[in-house]
Amino acid sequence: MTRPRRIAVVTGASSGIGRAAALELGRAGFDVVVGYGSNEAAAREVVNAVAADGGSRAWPVRLPLAVPESAVAALRGAIEAAGGVDVFVNNAGVNRRASFLEESHDDWQRVLAIDLTSPFLLAQEAARTMVRGGRGGRIINVTSVHEHIPIAGGSAYCAAKSALGMLTKTMALELGAHGISVTSVAPGETVTPMNGHAETVDPRSLARPVVPLGRPGASDEVAGLIRYLASDGAGYATGQSFVIDGGLSLIAADANVSSVSRPRPERAAI
């Protein structure tokens, strides 16, 4: 008996980690709904690349995350048009830095709407569709290493990402009975347009001497983890945060000791 085509939805898929994830899932045999915020041309390029690379079907859909109710309505229509959803990758977000003392209420609200409220409502819509379909599914929330550790100037961003991490655990607890696993992927610095890098930059060309692996990460590396979590082999993983940060989250105590007692040894980028 032929297995029915599986459908993945990836938000923020017009660039960066989302683009790489859409391509990886297409190669894995998923038809892909390519969610984007404003760059329709880039989203259509990803749609064409998915079809050319893996032979899968793909469709673009605009998801205005700053207006959560509109994003949910657009997702609902896209899922209906695609014929369902088996894997939902909650990837879209914004990254903002501002001093806690200077952060404005409007910017706080905007970051939380895009990085937390819309991901909550979109995952809820995807999960409801999965429950109605009765065949389970996967929800993968892309958070950040700042789900776990703070960064100066990141009050709104860190609050949103850590909350999304705890939401992941709560979702996993409740949705397991429906055969739906929920995980989070927590990248460290990754070479993406959101982080100020062109898609063509090789992360191995950028030195990060304090980070154990000596460099930032690549979108493809994060996408590979997302592909694994969407695979049959990861079917028993749920409620966990998978950190992929080159060791960034390990350095706090070592950096402190190094700053006061000894020079940091040179490290070659890998």
Q: What single DSSP character describes residue 214?
A: S
Residue 191 tokens, joined? 């070479």
User: What distance in Å separates the CA atoms of residue 161 and residue 141, rounded to the nearest whole number?
Assistant: 10
Who contacts 238 (Cβ-Cβ below 8 Å, separation ≥6)? 172, 176, 181, 182, 183
User: What distance in Å separates the CA atoms of residue 21 and residue 8, rounded to the nearest whole number?
Assistant: 10
- HSE value, Cβ hemisphere, 13 Å, CA-based, for 89: 36
Residue 201 contacts residue 240 (beta carbons within 8 Å):
no
Active site members: 157
Residue 25 tokens, joined? 């899932």
